[in-house]
C-alpha cells in the first residue's frame, strides 16, 4: 500500500498548493493522456481526421505516463482535460476537497492491457502460479483489474505481482529480465511479438468483463466555464468512434499512422484488431451507474477503497447526454 499512500499524499499537496482557476484559452484544449496507446484510437482518429478542427478546437496533447501523473497535471492546472482511469477521481474525492475532477465522458469499457509472456505457448491462467508478473502501480486500474481476475480464478495468493516498476519502465525491465510475465497495452505487445522478444498470451479486459476503464475528466470549474467546448470535444470523439467502427480497417490504420510514427502498419493493424476483438470502446460517452458500481467493487476488493463515493460526486453525464440528444436531433 506504500505507493498508494504516496499517491494520495501527492494529490493532497497538489490540491492544497497549486489549485488555481482555469485561464481558458478559447478553442484550445490542453489534454493529458495517461499513456499513448491504440487503446485510445477514437481520440487519435478525431485528431488526425480533423474532427476537432471542425468544431474550432486545437488539441495540445501531452503524456502523463501513469494515472497519478495525469491527475497531478489536471489538479495543478497543467492540463484542462485528462484521459485516465476514473479510480483516480474516486481517490481525490475521498480526500473531501472542492473543485474536484469530474468524469464527463467515458472512452473505454474494459481493461486494455494484455498478459505478455516470454514463452510462445498456449496460455492458461494457472501458468501464473508461482511466477512474477509486472502489474503496474498499486491502486491503479491495471493492477486492480489483474487482482480482480486472479482472485476470481482463485490463484491471487499464488502469484507474485510486482508493483514496484514504474509504468513507463515496465517494458524495459521485463525485456531486461525482471519478471516472468507483465501487463501492457498496445502497440507494445504487438511490437514485442514482431521483434520476437515476448508474446501476447491473453487479454485481462476480456476476462474481467466490462468496467469503466478510461475516461475524460476536468475540474468542476472548468466544466462550468466551458460547456460548449466540452460538448464539442465529445462530439469530435464520437465522430472518431463512428469512423473507427464503420470504416475499412486499412483506412482506420491510415488515420492512426500520424499518431504512431514509430510503429509500422502491420503493428498498428494487429494492435487495432486486438482491441476490436475484445470490444474495447463504449458506443456513447455516458457512464452508467452499474458500471461505476463494478469499478467500486474492484477497488474495494483490492483494499484501496474504504468508503464508496456516490456516483454523482464523480460523474456528470450532462454534457454527454446533450451531445447524444443533439446527434439524434440532427
Please report the pLDDT score of residue 5 as a whole number.
Answer: 44
Please report the pLDDT score of residue 45 as a whole number.
Answer: 98
Q: Concatenated DSSP letters for 257-272?
A: GGG-TTS-HHHHHHHH
Burial of 61 (0-12, 13-18, 19+ CB in 10 A): middle
Please report the pLDDT score of residue 14 as a whole number.
Answer: 46
Please report the pLDDT score of residue 142 as a whole number.
Answer: 93
Please report the pLDDT score of residue 23 as a whole number.
Answer: 42
**Which strand ranges, in their side-by-side order, compose the sheet holding 214-219?**
58-63, 28-33, 81-84, 214-219, 101-108
104/78 Cα distance (integer angstroms): 19
Please report the pLDDT score of residue 94 as a whole number.
Answer: 87
Which residue positions in the chain have pLDDT lower than 70?
1-25, 97
Please report the pLDDT score of residue 95 as a whole number.
Answer: 83
Please report the pLDDT score of residue 25 as a whole number.
Answer: 55
Please report the pLDDT score of residue 3 as a whole number.
Answer: 40
Is-contact 42 237, C-beta < 8 A?
Answer: yes
**Any bridge partners for residue 162, and if so which?**
134
The 3-state secondary structure of 221-255, one letter per residue: HHHHHCHHHHHHHHHHHHHHHHHHHHCCHHHHHHH
Amino acid at each position: 500500500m506504500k505507493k498508494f499512500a504516496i499517491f494520495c499524499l501527492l494529490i493532497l499537496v497538489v490540491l492544497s498548493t497549486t489549485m488555481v482557476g482555469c485561464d481558458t484559452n478559447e478553442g484550445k484544449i490542453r489534454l493529458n493522456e495517461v499513456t499513448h496507446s491504440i487503446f485510445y484510437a477514437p481520440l487519435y482518429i478525431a485528431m488526425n481526421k480533423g474532427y476537432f478542427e471542425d468544431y474550432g478546437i486545437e488539441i495540445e496533447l501531452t503524456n502523463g505516463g501513469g494515472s497519478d501523473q495525469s491527475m497531478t497535471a489536471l489538479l495543478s492546472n497543467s492540463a484542462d482535460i485528462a484521459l485516465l482511469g476514473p479510480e483516480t477521481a474516486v481517490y481525490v474525492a475521498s480526500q473531501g476537497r472542492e473543485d474536484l475532477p469530474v468524469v464527463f465522458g467515458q472512452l473505454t469499457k474494459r481493461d486494455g492491457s494484455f498478459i505478455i509472456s516470454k514463452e510462445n505457448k498456449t496460455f492458461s491462467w494457472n501458468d501464473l502460479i508461482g511466477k512474477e508478473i509486472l502489474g503496474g502501480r498499486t491502486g491503479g486500474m491495471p493492477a486492480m483489474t489483474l487482482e480482480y481476475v486472479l482472485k476470481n480464478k482463485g490463484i491471487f495468493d499464488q502469484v507474485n505481482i510486482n508493483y514496484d516498476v514504474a509504468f513507463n519502465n515496465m517494458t524495459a525491465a521485463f525485456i531486461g529480465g525482471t519478471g516472468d510475465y507483465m501487463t501492457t497495452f498496445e502497440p507494445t505487445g504487438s511490437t514485442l511479438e514482431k521483434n520476437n522478444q515476448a508474446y501476447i498470451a491473453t487479454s485481462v479486459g476480456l476476462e474481467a468483463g466490462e468496467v469503466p476503464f478510461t475516461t475524460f475528466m476536468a475540474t468542476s470549474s472548468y466544466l462550468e466555464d466551458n460547456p460548449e467546448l466540452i460538448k464539442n470535444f465529445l462530439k469530435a470523439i464520437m465522430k472518431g468512434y463512428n469512423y473507427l467502427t464503420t470504416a475499412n480497417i486499412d483506412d482506420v490504420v491510415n488515420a492512426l499512422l500520424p499518431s504512431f510514427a514509430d510503429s509500422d502498419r502491420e503493428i498498428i493493424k494487429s494492435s487495432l484488431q486486438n482491441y476490436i476483438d475484445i470490444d474495447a470502446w463504449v458506443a456513447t460517452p455516458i457512464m452508467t451507474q452499474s458500471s461505476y458500481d463494478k469499478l467500486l467493487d474492484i477497488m474495494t476488493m483490492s483494499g484501496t477503497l474504504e468508503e464508496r463515493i456516490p456516483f454523482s460526486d464523480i460523474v456528470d453525464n450532462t454534457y454527454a447526454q446533450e451531445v447524444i440528444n443533439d446527434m439524434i436531433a440532427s
